[in-house]
């Protein structure tokens, strides 16, 4: 048989690393669901059959969870917990039962219909992270469906060692099952940087490329494949020379990355003695372990929204457990936990969503929390109760005017009063801060600095609101420039006002995790920068090889430039000269790929 020509496919770099191996196809093609009418007298039995299948599926997931926990697996248990939570969610279970009753149809059909309805809710959400969560609902639906239909839910593990799993999408349970079976890399057709496959692959520290359109139609089991998680590429049927080149590149990059990672315990101090705290952003409690592994000095942002995905808020006790876990694992280092930042592009299912013409400017974040005080107070009590387990910092999101921070503070005081009444303990040294992510708050930072212990700058929103550029709209992405002069001026104002008032400032938006911007952040004088854990070793390395005096000079000169293209060019050229291993004037080198 003639040899096939090598073919390179481009996807998204989801987890760094290079691996050459044989394909193991995981085929999760859509199941054919028959629609069957149930006679009236059979409806209750059908519902019983459905409930039974849900219970059995929960038990299966608990088994998976146990294997992960006791098998010492590194997979994020929280995602599996979230799936169990979805299986118990009223919207799914009662929704399916309602359809069985009202349409007198079989449970499989009803389940398929309710999963499609819930998907639509998630489809309307614009935040990448939350949109990815619709696949959680699909995976849960599929597992219950397979139980109903008596099919095996487990994916078949590869027979060959160090295989490359290629799938349309992978559930965390799939990955948990596969990771102990010698899987060395993952490739999926769908998904983004914040999807499961990316999260799990980074936790397992294996290369992954996601969003490779059409790959399933092009590969067969045991085909040879190169997975390049730095460049987000896969090569099908590579030549021997391509394999040799890839392996050589892999070795070079791995040893460079390992050397950089070995500096993780060294102080983040410039050569001329300026220190900055390097912290991690996390979305799930069990990311704390990897944050520590990558050298996080604190958690700079724990986004608690993930806990509020269902139709009901988690109980105070359940929240307290999650917060305690983060605080205990980080202790004595601090952890900043942000109160729920729901609505807007992140959506929610809890409070009944009114249609909003402009969700980003609507009832979102702190505005929603202040509207639903019972839920907000429960979160504040849970946070306070957890504070005895570590060094808590509470963070309020999206404050846009003084009355909001005053109300939030008053509710925090109310939560304290309630706990005192019940005789429940909480720490008395909790720092309370606010996010600056709205231009009005940035302009008024001198006033706000009198009300809080620290600021955390959310550049993702601050940039979108300052430049009027939707952070999720690809069409206007070319305008989204963190180095826009107006953004730089706001950042300077915030930092200077904070310091003048004697409080510290963190930055936790994506801008903080892009090493390209490091000299500007050093030059502006941020006290903490908080980012995706994988970026930490690289940023630490660059801090240690920077001079704050150079960074200040660059920042001053960049702020005098006339337009934002010039600012970007100046920073790129500076970094390409200072760190040629990481940057070229046109972008970054492979070493920073997959972050
Ligand atoms: C931000 O806006 O920069 C931020 C950190 O908050 P989120 O990305 O969760 O909106
Ligand atoms: Mg924000």
Residue 69 has pLDDT above 70, yes or no: yes
Burial of 273 (C-beta count, 10 Å sphere; 0-12/13-18/19+): exposed
Q: Can 508 be counted among the known catalytic residues?
A: yes
Q: What are φ and ψ of residue 588, in 5° steps?
A: -110, 160
Q: What is each CA distance from 494 to 196, 259, 441, in whole angstroms?
A: 35, 36, 9
346 lines ligand 1 (CB under 6 A): no
Measured CA to CA, the distance from residue 399 to residue 14 in angstroms comes to: 32
CA 47 to chain centre: 36
Looking at residues 470-478, what average pLDDT do you find? 85
Looking at residues 217-231, what average pLDDT do you find? 93
Kind and range of the H or E element at 111? helix 107-123
CA 236 to chain centre: 30
Ligand nearest to the CA of 507: 1
pLDDT digits over 359-378, tens only?
899 999 999 999 999 999 99
- Tokens 């704050």: give the residue: 548
Measured CA to CA, the distance from residue 138 to residue 119 in angstroms comes to: 8
Looking at residues 426-455, what average pLDDT do you find? 98
Q: What size, in residues, is the chain?
A: 595
pLDDT of res. 204:
80
Nearest CA to ligand 1 atom 9: 303
3-state SS, residue 444 = coil
Ligand nearest to the CA of 194: 1
Residue 489 has pLDDT above 60, yes or no: yes
Which pLDDT band holds residue 1 (cuts at 50, 70, 90)?
very low
- Ordered domains of the chain (ranges, CATH): 7-29+154-259 (3.50.30.10), 40-148 (1.10.274.10), 263-592 (3.20.20.60)
Q: Can 37 be counted among the known catalytic residues?
A: no
Residue 448 has pLDDT above 80, yes or no: yes
125 C-alpha to center of ligand 2: Å? Answer: 15
| Of 119-128, 205-214, 355-364, the least confident | 119-128
Name the more confident of 265 and 122. Answer: 265
Name the residue of 364, 397, 491 to mutate for ligand 1: max ligand atoms within 8 A of Cβ: 397
Buried-state track 90-108, b at ≥16 Cβ within 10 A, e below 16: ebbbebbbebbbeebbbbb
Which pLDDT band holds residue 306 (cuts at 50, 70, 90)?
confident
3-state SS, residue 527 = coil
3-state SS, residue 228 = strand
Looking at residues 385-396, what average pLDDT do you find? 98
- pTM confidence score: 0.81
CA 394 to chain centre: 19
Which pLDDT band holds residue 73 (cuts at 50, 70, 90)?
low
- Tokens 């499989």: give the residue: 108
Percent of the chain with pLDDT over 70: 95
SS3 annotation, 238-305? CCHHHHHHHHHHHHHHHHHHHHHHCCCCCCCECCCCCECEEEEEECCHHHHHHHHHCCCCCEEEEEHH
Q: Active-site residue among 19, 24, 83, 196?
A: 196
The C-alpha angle 296, 299, 301, rounded to 5 degrees, equals 135
- Among the listed residues 110, 92, 123, 122, the one whose alpha carbon sits nearest the alpha carbon of residue 33: 110
Nearest CA to ligand 1 atom 1: 458
pLDDT digits over 290-301, tens only?
899 999 999 999
Q: What are φ and ψ of residue 593, in 5° steps?
A: -70, 150
228 lines ligand 1 (CB under 6 A): no
pLDDT of res. 515:
96
Q: Specify the ligand 1 atom closest to the Cα of 346.
A: 10
459 lines ligand 1 (CB under 6 A): yes
Residue 381 has pLDDT above 90, yes or no: yes
3-state SS, residue 54 = helix
What is the average pLDDT score of the chain?
91
318's CB contacts (< 8 A; 6+ apart) are: 307
- Among the listed residues 76, 50, 220, 13, the one whose alpha carbon sits nearest the alpha carbon of residue 141: 50
Q: What is each CA distance from 154 to 132, 176, 315, in whole angstroms?
A: 22, 10, 32
CB count in 10 Å sphere of residue 435: 25
Looking at residues 252-279, what average pLDDT do you find? 95
pLDDT of res. 152:
67
pLDDT of res. 30:
59
Q: Specify the ligand 1 atom closest to the Cα of 281.
A: 5
Residue 309 has pLDDT above 80, yes or no: no
303 lines ligand 1 (CB under 6 A): yes
Name the residue of 359, 433, 460, 494 to mutate for ligand 1: max ligand atoms within 8 A of Cβ: 460
Q: What are φ and ψ of residue 303, in 5° steps?
A: -80, 110
DSSP 195: S
Q: Active-site residue among 348, 508, 541, 588?
A: 508
pLDDT of res. 29:
59
Name the more confident of 429 and 180. Answer: 429
pLDDT of res. 430:
98
pLDDT digits over 78-103, tens only?
778 888 888 888 888 899 999 999 99
pLDDT of res. 384:
98
């Amino acid at each position: 048989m003639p040899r096939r020509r090598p073919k390179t496919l481009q996807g998204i770099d989801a987890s760094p690393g290079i691996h050459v191996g044989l394909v193991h196809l995981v085929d999760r093609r859509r199941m054919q669901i028959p629609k069957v009418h149930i006679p009236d007298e059979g409806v209750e039995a059908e519902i019983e059959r459905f409930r039974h299948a849900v219970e059995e599926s929960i038990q299966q997931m608990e088994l998976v969870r146990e294997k992960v926990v006791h098998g010492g697996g590194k997979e994020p248990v929280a995602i599996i917990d979230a799936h169990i939570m979805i299986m118990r969610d009223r919207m799914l279970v009662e929704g399916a039962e309602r359809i069985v009753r009202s349409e007198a149809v079989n449970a499989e059909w009803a389940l398929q219909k309710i999963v499609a309805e819930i998907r639509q809710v998630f489809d309307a959400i614009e935040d990448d992270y939350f949109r990815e969560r619709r696949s959680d609902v699909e995976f849960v639906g599929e597992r219950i469906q397979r139980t109903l239909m008596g099919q095996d839910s487990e994916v078949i593990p590869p027979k060959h060692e160090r295989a490359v799993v290629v799938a349309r999408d992978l559930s965390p349970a799939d990955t948990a099952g596969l990771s102990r079976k010698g899987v060395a890399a993952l490739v999926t057709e769908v998904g983004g940087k914040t999807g499961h496959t990316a999260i799990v692959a980074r936790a397992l520290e294996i290369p992954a490329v996601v969003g490779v359109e059409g790959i399933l139609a092009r590969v067969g089991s045991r085909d040879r494949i190169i997975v390049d998680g730095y460049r987000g590429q896969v090569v099908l049927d590579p030549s021997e020379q391509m394999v040799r080149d890839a392996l050589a590149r892999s070795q070079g990059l791995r040893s460079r990355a390992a050397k950089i990672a070995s500096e993780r315990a060294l102080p983040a101090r410039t050569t001329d003695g300026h220190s900055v705290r390097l912290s991690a952003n996390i979305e799930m409690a069990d990311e704390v372990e990897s944050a520590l592994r990558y050298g996080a000095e604190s958690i700079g942002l724990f986004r608690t929204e993930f806990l509020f995905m269902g139709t009901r808020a988690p109980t105070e006790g359940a929240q307290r457990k999650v917060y305690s876990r983060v605080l205990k694992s980080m202790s004595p280092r601090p952890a900043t936990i942000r109160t729920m930042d729901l609505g807007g592009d992140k959506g929610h299912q809890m409070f009944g969503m009114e249609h909003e013409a402009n969700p980003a400017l609507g009832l979102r974040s702190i505005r929603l929390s202040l509207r639903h005080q019972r839920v907000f107070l429960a979160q504040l009590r849970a946070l306070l109760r957890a504070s005895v387990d570590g060094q808590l910092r509470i963070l309020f999101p999206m404050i846009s005017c003084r009355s909001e921070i005053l109300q939030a503070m008053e509710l925090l005081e109310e939560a304290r009063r309630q706990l005192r009444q019940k005789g429940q303990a909480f720490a008395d040294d909790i720092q309370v801060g606010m996010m600056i992510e709205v231009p009005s708050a940035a302009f008024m930072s001198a006033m706000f600095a009198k009300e809080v212990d620290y600021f955390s700058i959310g550049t993702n929103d601050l940039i979108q609101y300052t430049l009027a550029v939707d952070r999720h709209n690809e069409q206007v992405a070319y305008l989204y420039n963190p180095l826009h002069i107006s953004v730089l001026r706001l950042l300077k104002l915030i930092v200077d006002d904070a310091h003048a008032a004697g409080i510290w400032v963190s930055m936790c938006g994506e801008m903080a995790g892009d090493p390209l911007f490091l000299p500007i952040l050093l030059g502006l004088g941020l006290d903490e920068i908080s980012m995706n854990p994988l970026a930490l070793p690289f940023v630490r390395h660059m801090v240690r090889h920077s001079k704050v005096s150079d960074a200040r000079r660059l920042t001053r000169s960049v702020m005098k430039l006339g337009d934002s293209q010039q600012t970007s060019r100046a920073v790129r050229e500076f970094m390409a000269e200072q760190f040629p291993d990481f940057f070229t004037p046109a972008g970054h080198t492979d070493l920073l790929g997959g972050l």
